[in-house]
Structure 1
Amino acid sequence: MKINKLSYAIVTALGTSSFAMAQQATDETETGRVIETIQVTATKRTESIQAIPVTVSALSGEALENLGVDNFQDYVEFLPNVVFQGTGPGQNEIYIRGAATSQTNIAVSTVQALQPSVAFYLDEQPVSMQGRNLDIYAADVARVEVLPGPQGTLFGASSQSGTVRMITNKPNFSGFAGGVDLGSSFTKDGEMSNSVEAFLNFTPADDLAVRVTVYNDNQGGWIDNIRNDPEQGGFGGSAVVINRISGGVLTDPDNIEVIAPNNDNLVEEDANDASYAGFRLGVAYEVNDDWDLLVQHTQQQLDTEGVFAYDPNLEGTQSVNRFQADKNSDVFGLTTWTLSGRLDELDIVYTGGLLNRDIASTVDYTGYTNGGLFAAYYVCNHYTAATPADVKCLDPSKFYKEETDTSRVTHELRLNTDASRDWRITAGIFYDSQELSTVGKFKIPNTELFPDLARKTVGQEGINSDGGPFESEVGFVNDVTHGIDQIAVFGQAEYDLSDTLTVSLGARWYEIEDSYKGSTTTVDVTRRLRAFGTLDPAELIEVGEDPAAIDAAIASGQLDVSLLDDDGALTVDDVIYKASVDWKASSDMLFFATYSEGFRPPVTNRVGGGLATNQQGAFDGFRIPVYSTTDTLTNYEFGMKADFFDGIFRVNATAFFSEITDLQTSRFDPTNISFLVFTDNVGDAEIQGIDGDITWLATDNLILDASFSLLNTELTRVNSELDGIAPPVGSELPYSASFSGNIRARYFYEMDNGLTGFVNGSLVYTGDRLASMTMDAYVLEDTTRLVYGTGSGLSIENEASVFEGVGYRDTNGELFAGGRYIQDSYVLANVAFGITNDEWKAEIYIDNLFDERAILHIDNQQFTPKVVSNRPRTIGFRLSYDFF
């Protein structure tokens, strides 16, 4: 049967993580069918995905459309070696191949968070950000490329375990074209959602092309903020919890007057709404026969209300108790430019970008009452009460408000030699300057206990930078500016030893300067870092440190300040390498072996150098690191790319072994160390795994795709002071399933009147994953039962029973068992049915067919677990129309 061009377009890449069906079979085989090979830019050249000795997964634009993919969470589902963890739209991190760790609470991620281990690019521009990955709506996209494993030689910092690139459709000179996509859907026990996308491409002159893309997507909520009722498992504001955490200060908690928080004015069904609205304008200009200029601007606003995690202690999987109006506004504008051309045999590219991003958030912080050394102090008056009978615990509700402005400027100049030679070179220079300014305001104490709080005004340098008084309820403020400047020189050389054997070597030298200025209510960060940079005794005394004790800590190796300059700025430089050899066993089979290195930049701490609160056992003499140093990932992999059976069956697979040295993670242990989050290098880890993709053109009308990831992760060294807190040596890294995979099928058939029908379906499986890098699940369960009167019901991995040494202790000094929550395995199924012709397509779909409530992430940052879940069963339709 002859298959027309349209039919091939429909069958294009149901979602194979590497491949798409050809729109038209150009190389005739015995079957008349062929798998198209996508062109990618993973090596900073445009090359066939099957011809490069690099593991690459790619979802084409057609595949994204067929899968109904619009945002990160959607397309990560179909990439089993990629993990997406976080608390909602615009508040997530990406992890690849199991190289995951615990990120900082979203409420302070802009102040004290790790740099990502996976770099995210929009076209040529890096747009990664700690704790809040830029959540770009996937409208008018050519493809999404995923490069697992270290990509640091070509893509730099934060490409430690991989790189994700969203490649947009560019203006083209073929003439006028346009398209519109409309969608609407209904979510079980939730609100209606609707979306519209459109693009227009036109050529006002022979040497000028313009493309405009616009979109608006309103995603209805499904999580209810229900009335707080302590008698029905709601938040009780329990004095019992406060008594335990405060070391038994409250002698008779059962008879203490306790005021539970009231949320009557915030009760709402389907409270977690999200909306994406934006546009992209691209202008391409042909300067002459050899040079082209592309300028693009992308503007987007992401607004959310409510939260995207439910309280597992409440009935069902769609209920929360929130006491402040959670909302988040995330606006960015990105202007990019690319000048490309040719000088003799050199291809030259200069590209740059300017990113401005503004975030404004309000977060319910009431859960902070549930834990921490100061919980009783914040809400109970036991320290001022005349008698025990006068002790009472007041309304514990709290909030966090943040305003963050980010700017990032990048420049890259690179050249490529002629690709037809038996030796090829890619080389360049890269410059990156980031500045993040944030003001975070916390309501922590109850204002009835702190009547002077309303009169609080500007008290120290860096606080309340707008010059006005604080809001009357604000009790703690972060006001900091974080700058990261980077310069790098990189290169990669390839040489063909023969027609079938090629070797390559790459390297990157980088220098990064990290400056951290400002202050908190309790810490002058600028002055503190300057004191540790100079080690001037007078300055150390001024920030409350004993110079002799600091000298002793440095001499013993417990404290390192060698990377700081006299102004407190941190500078690191190094060279990383990559080497590979590939063998073209035949025209359809490629084998390659690769050694590669990746890194994450260091992170400066607000409270660096301070003594731990607990000076017993392993914490004797322990000081919070002034900064966490660069952690590195060394990777060894062996891969295969092959087509079988005359080009209708394709297998790409890679086996790898990775070592992480000086693993960075966020730490928050207010009982033992500090009430402020900080980052630390906590140990080493190893990762072994296999990932792969399979495509099979089963018949003229049916295409099957599958992809999988097998992982074995292990902590191989843990700092001694974390015994009983962090998982022990031999434990798994967080968020890493031992097996994940998916299978997709697409069937199409010819109809009357030039119409083509199609049916597609997908199954996605994700295995069990452990949450966080801290064995605090039993402690959190204890707190949950005391606060809500019931446990969370979540699964726990008992990784260590009672430890000898430092750990979590109850009021009798006894240690709790150590364990982490399990994010249980799940299966998600989607189906769709539609018809199309050369101009339009109509489709009915069901996402989450079996209404699975998957545990995507367990958030334990407020001392009782909250579960981020997927959208319930959703039924909708999509209609698209293209005009040429």
Structure 2
Amino acid sequence: MGSIDRRVFRAALSASAAFLTLPAGAYAQEPQAADTVASAGDIVVTAQKREQRLIDVPVAISVLPAESLARLNVSRLSDYYDRIPGLQYSGQLVSNISLRGISAGSGTSPTVAILVDDVQFGGTTGAGQPPLPDFDASALGRVEVLHGPQGTLYGAASLGGLIKYVLKEPQFDSFSGRVEAAGTKVDVGGSGYALRGSINVPVTDWLAATASAFTREDAPYLDNANAGALKKNNVNTRKVWGFRTAALIRATDNLRITASALYQHQKALNSDLAATSGGVPVCNICVNGPNATTAPTTFDPVLGDLTINTLDAPNRMKFQLYTGRVEWDLGPAALTSISAWSRADNVLLSDVTRTFGRLLARSYGVATPPTAQISNATKTSKFSQELRLAGKMDAVEWLVGGFYTVEHAATDQTIFASGTVTGTPYDALGPATYREYAGFGDLIWHATDKLDLQVGGRYAKNKQNNATTLVLDGPVEGVFGTSGTVRARSKDSAFTWLVSPSYHFSPDILGYVRVASGYRPGGPNIGSPPGRPVAFDSDSVINYEVGFKGRVLPGVLTIDTALFQIDWKDIQLLGTDPVTSLNFQANGGKARSRGLEFAADLTPWRGMSINGNFTVTDAEITEDILTIQGGRGFRGLPGDRLPFVAKFTSNLSAQQSFDLTDDWEMYVGGTLTYVGNRLAGFQTNDPAATRPRIRIPAYTTLDLRAGVTFDKKLSIAPYIRNVFDKRGVAAANNANGARTPTALFINPRTYGVVASISF
């Protein structure tokens, strides 16, 4: 396993053996819904754009039921990412997540695609990237996480995999609904609440509708030591509300039309988005003494636990998605059309005095650095159209389709100065357009009743048209460039493919081999600092995988495991200029990620459900990272680990349910999570970037939960998250060694209760 520590690998194998040798009880039954990821079983997924049993899909897939999220009142990916095998998290932007170690740090185009049903969320490129969506459980049916590149069926930006939010569909069978209320309290902070509701109405025999809505206020817990801040205690506030509606028209027996609308709005102050993208620390990291700029980061706060020192950072975000889906059964084939338009807007004001204050002081010739704030306004509007035809002919299942999308994105930045310098020394507008045309096909040949062979391919072309307009005050033109507008265009194309033979040892046990590719488009590097590359190229991966999933003991034990290696070349990287603190993108050399993913569901006796998973990942550079123009590049040598990838992560959840009376049922359970140490982003090789690469320490958390249910309709469920109040570090950043580090900590100990009623 390369450079994986032998002790870690032995522990992984021991854990695997432990799952396989746990005894079965006399009252074995199907696995029950515990609050963790579900492995293979009679779960139906749409991962391959057709309905299939999870157990029959030759892809490593993790499934999170919406009930699991609602039970713990979690809607944010940051609250449950560590329960999904191989998912890495380094911040609240789409570009801050990765799967299977395919991570080069934040700020580049996404390596994991986010889909809402079959519609991509946000942008394909790094322009105008929105924060991760917080889809409330009231609108969700489940979350599907596909591991490994999915370029053939889903296109660009899925190098490591994708996360698919599957929304609830209107049902014709009955009138139903659900109402929930939740309260939370952070041990060292304030309180929060959540209200959500959903309803399904079969209007006629040809029309059904569903609607859901929610409002949520998260419990704050940070204090602010800055004298100029508007608020001093419990300053990291967040309020979110939204709704979703959908109507299903059964026009004829073979024609279904679904129309849906989704809207979400967030208003936050000093959020974790500000901590990672805006440079505002959640907790100050400080090294005292003469070596403060060269010593390793220690994560020791100097202002007190959970205290920040910054001007307030307000944040507003909204997201809208409108989708029309037509499904027409033509007999020998089925035609599906998906039309969608979405828009994501995000505005964040951050305190960047530590980053730009001294630079502005030198530019304007003043002794005292002024206060500096930056406004980042990002927006992405996206139209997409997919048309596909699927059918079956004898022993062959086939699918062909076409795809078109156009994205209009922008990142507008303004620096505001006050104090010894006043005004707006820097103002940048960055509109960008991305168009993609693609055709794809997928074929499954059932060679025998046990042996299948799947092959697929996708050819895509894209065009980009970007511009940057700079309006600079005279004294800073020597640092940031000159005022004016610069335009650039680019074209790119790619062919992605997959080959996957699979074998059913039994109807419920599948072994498979999968070889698949993926890519990200390149693009112009507009607005980069002087002397930096003006463009960057596409990068690509090839994934080699052997997997096994199924019910090895029917009704007792289900497992899902995969060994993989991903080869990555021409890696897209985000650099930071040490002089200006401006970002730019460039291509590096090669890397590879290899590892083992294992998940299991065990039901040893009646009412008991044990779910566990672990991931061993060895992700490292295999070819020197390219030094870019001017000698200022990235410091990366063969053997260096890729950013934010833990070598070992694990999650173990157990839940016992039992009957109190004929009507009352109770459960108790807990989840233990371990995330190993990680390295933060790469450094530059510039002499001014003196801070060493950050090593993020490992952490372990324990969550406990309980609940009672009456007549399967009324439920009350208390819980405690992070029982031992660990200060685990989820992410850290020092701008490639060019500035003081900042960190994002996991939430402190949190108490909560969820009450719900179904009808």
Q: TM-score interval w.r.t. the shorter chain?
A: 0.7 to 0.9
For 2:496 and 2:584, how far apart are their aligned partners in 1? 27
Determine which of 667, 684, 697 is the counterpart of 1:824: 697
Determine which of 424, 427, 430 is the counterpart of 2:403: 430
Deviation at 1:760, TM superposition (A): 1.2
Instruction: Give the structure-2-normalised TM-score.
Output: 0.87
Question: Residue 109 of structure 2 corresponds to which residue in structure 1?
Answer: 115
* Partner-residue secondary structure (3-state), 1:377: helix
Correspondence 1:227-238 to 2 at 5 A: 227=226
Deviation at 1:184, TM superposition (A): 0.3
For 1:16 and 1:851, how far apart are their aligned partners in 2? 23
Correspondence 1:545-694 to 2 at 5 A: 568-607=488-527, 612=531, 624-671=532-579, 676-694=582-600
Question: Residue 718 of structure 2 corresponds to which residue in structure 1?
Answer: 844
For 2:484 and 2:664, how far apart are their aligned partners in 1? 76
For 2:94 and 2:224, how far apart are their aligned partners in 1? 20
2:744 pairs with 1:868: yes
1:154 alignment partner AA: L
Correspondence 1:715-726 to 2 at 5 A: 715-717=621-623, 718-721=625-628, 725-726=634-635
Given that 2:609 and 2:654 are in contact with CA atoms closer than 8 Å, whether structure 1 keeps it comes out as yes
Deviation at 1:859, TM superposition (A): 2.7
For 1:579 and 1:336, how far apart are their aligned partners in 2? 31
For 2:645 and 2:360, how far apart are their aligned partners in 1? 33
Please say which of residues 642-651 and 676-685 is displaced more in the overlay.
642-651
Determine which of 87, 95, 102 is the counterpart of 2:105: 102
1:700 alignment partner AA: R
Identity among equivalent positions (%) equals 23
Structure 1 portions without partners, runs of 5+: 20-35, 105-113, 228-262, 382-391, 450-471, 524-540, 546-566, 613-623, 776-805, 811-815
* Partner-residue secondary structure (3-state), 1:153: helix
- Quickly say closer, same or farther: Cα 1:725–1:376, change in 2 above 3 A: farther
Question: Residue 388 of structure 1 corresponds to which residue in structure 2?
Answer: none
Deviation at 1:315, TM superposition (A): 3.3
2:577 alignment partner AA: D
2:37 pairs with 1:16: yes
Question: Residue 84 of structure 2 corresponds to which residue in structure 1?
Answer: 79
Question: Residue 184 of structure 2 corresponds to which residue in structure 1?
Answer: 185
For 1:357 and 1:164, how far apart are their aligned partners in 2? 18
For 1:337 and 1:587, how far apart are their aligned partners in 2? 36
Deviation at 1:626, TM superposition (A): 1.9
Question: Residue 362 of structure 2 corresponds to which residue in structure 1?
Answer: 377
- Measured on the aligned residues, the alpha-carbon RMSD in Å equals 2.6
Question: Residue 334 of structure 2 corresponds to which residue in structure 1?
Answer: 347
Correspondence 1:202-281 to 2 at 5 A: 202-227=201-226, 263-281=227-245
Question: Residue 302 of structure 1 corresponds to which residue in structure 2?
Answer: 266
- Quickly say closer, same or farther: Cα 1:509–1:702, change in 2 above 3 A: same
- Aligned residue pairs: how many? 692
For 1:424 and 1:67, how far apart are their aligned partners in 2? 40
Question: Residue 457 of structure 2 corresponds to which residue in structure 1?
Answer: 507
For 1:173 and 1:218, how far apart are their aligned partners in 2? 34
Deviation at 1:425, TM superposition (A): 0.6
Deviation at 1:768, TM superposition (A): 0.2
For 1:288 and 1:757, how far apart are their aligned partners in 2? 45
Question: Residue 706 of structure 2 corresponds to which residue in structure 1?
Answer: 833
Deviation at 1:520, TM superposition (A): 1.6
Deviation at 1:67, TM superposition (A): 4.2
For 2:420 and 2:555, how far apart are their aligned partners in 1? 75
For 2:376 and 2:70, how far apart are their aligned partners in 1? 35
For 1:92 and 1:759, how far apart are their aligned partners in 2? 36
Deviation at 1:867, TM superposition (A): 1.4
2:49 alignment partner AA: K
Deviation at 1:43, TM superposition (A): 0.7
For 1:358 and 1:16, how far apart are their aligned partners in 2? 31
2:416 pairs with 1:443: yes
Deviation at 1:761, TM superposition (A): 0.5
Given that 2:435 and 2:464 are in contact with CA atoms closer than 8 Å, whether structure 1 keeps it comes out as yes
Deviation at 1:736, TM superposition (A): 0.5
For 2:484 and 2:661, how far apart are their aligned partners in 1? 81
Structure with greater strand share of residues = 2
Instruction: Tell me the alpha carbon deviations over residues 552-609 of structure 1, each in whole angstroms, 9 at most, x when there is no partner.
Output: xxxxxxxxxxxxxxx831011121111111111222321111111001121311246x
* Partner-residue secondary structure (3-state), 1:77: helix
Question: Residue 439 of structure 2 corresponds to which residue in structure 1?
Answer: 489
For 2:182 and 2:665, how far apart are their aligned partners in 1? 20
Please say which of residues 762-771 and 263-272 is displaced more in the overlay.
263-272
Given that 2:380 and 2:408 are in contact with CA atoms closer than 8 Å, whether structure 1 keeps it comes out as yes
1:174 alignment partner AA: D
For 1:483 and 1:302, how far apart are their aligned partners in 2? 26
For 1:769 and 1:494, how far apart are their aligned partners in 2? 39
Question: Residue 248 of structure 2 corresponds to which residue in structure 1?
Answer: 284
Deviation at 1:865, TM superposition (A): 1.3
1:569 alignment partner AA: R
2:369 pairs with 1:405: no
* Partner-residue secondary structure (3-state), 1:521: strand
Deviation at 1:221, TM superposition (A): 1.1
- Quickly say closer, same or farther: Cα 1:691–1:8, change in 2 above 3 A: closer
Question: Residue 727 of structure 2 corresponds to which residue in structure 1?
Answer: 853
Question: Residue 136 of structure 1 corresponds to which residue in structure 2?
Answer: 134
Deviation at 1:279, TM superposition (A): 0.2
Structure possessing the higher relative contact order (Cα contacts under 8 Å, 6 or more residues apart) = 2
For 1:64 and 1:18, how far apart are their aligned partners in 2? 16
For 2:542 and 2:87, how far apart are their aligned partners in 1? 18
Question: Residue 739 of structure 1 corresponds to which residue in structure 2?
Answer: 648
Deviation at 1:359, TM superposition (A): 1.9
Question: Residue 54 of structure 2 corresponds to which residue in structure 1?
Answer: 49
Given that 2:470 and 2:484 are in contact with CA atoms closer than 8 Å, whether structure 1 keeps it comes out as no
For 1:312 and 1:222, how far apart are their aligned partners in 2? 18
Deviation at 1:675, TM superposition (A): 5.1
- Quickly say closer, same or farther: Cα 1:416–1:368, change in 2 above 3 A: same
Question: Residue 663 of structure 2 corresponds to which residue in structure 1?
Answer: 754
Given that 2:645 and 2:678 are in contact with CA atoms closer than 8 Å, whether structure 1 keeps it comes out as yes
Question: Residue 310 of structure 2 corresponds to which residue in structure 1?
Answer: 322
Deviation at 1:724, TM superposition (A): 8.5
Given that 2:703 and 2:721 are in contact with CA atoms closer than 8 Å, whether structure 1 keeps it comes out as yes
Instruction: Tell me the alpha carbon deviations over residues 778-826 of structure 1, each in whole angstroms, 9 at most, x when there is no partner.
Output: xxxxxxxxxxxxxxxxxxxxxxxxxxxx64259xxxxx5x731111101
1:14 alignment partner AA: D
* Partner-residue secondary structure (3-state), 1:709: strand
For 1:265 and 1:44, how far apart are their aligned partners in 2? 50
Structure 2 portions without partners, runs of 5+: 1-24, 273-281, 287-301, 474-481
Instruction: Tell me the alpha carbon deviations over residues 692-726 of structure 1, each in whole angstroms, 9 at most, x when there is no partner.
Output: 21111111121100011111111112114578852
- Quickly say closer, same or farther: Cα 1:3–1:729, change in 2 above 3 A: closer
Given that 1:146 and 1:165 are in contact with CA atoms closer than 8 Å, whether structure 2 keeps it comes out as yes
Instruction: Tell me the alpha carbon deviations over residues 290-348 of structure 1, each in whole angstroms, 9 at most, x when there is no partner.
Output: 0100111000001111243221332333011113x211100111101110021121011
- Quickly say closer, same or farther: Cα 1:633–1:490, change in 2 above 3 A: same
Deviation at 1:18, TM superposition (A): 2.4
Given that 2:33 and 2:609 are in contact with CA atoms closer than 8 Å, whether structure 1 keeps it comes out as no
* Partner-residue secondary structure (3-state), 1:568: strand
* Partner-residue secondary structure (3-state), 2:79: helix
2:587 alignment partner AA: N
Correspondence 1:463-474 to 2 at 5 A: 473-474=423-424
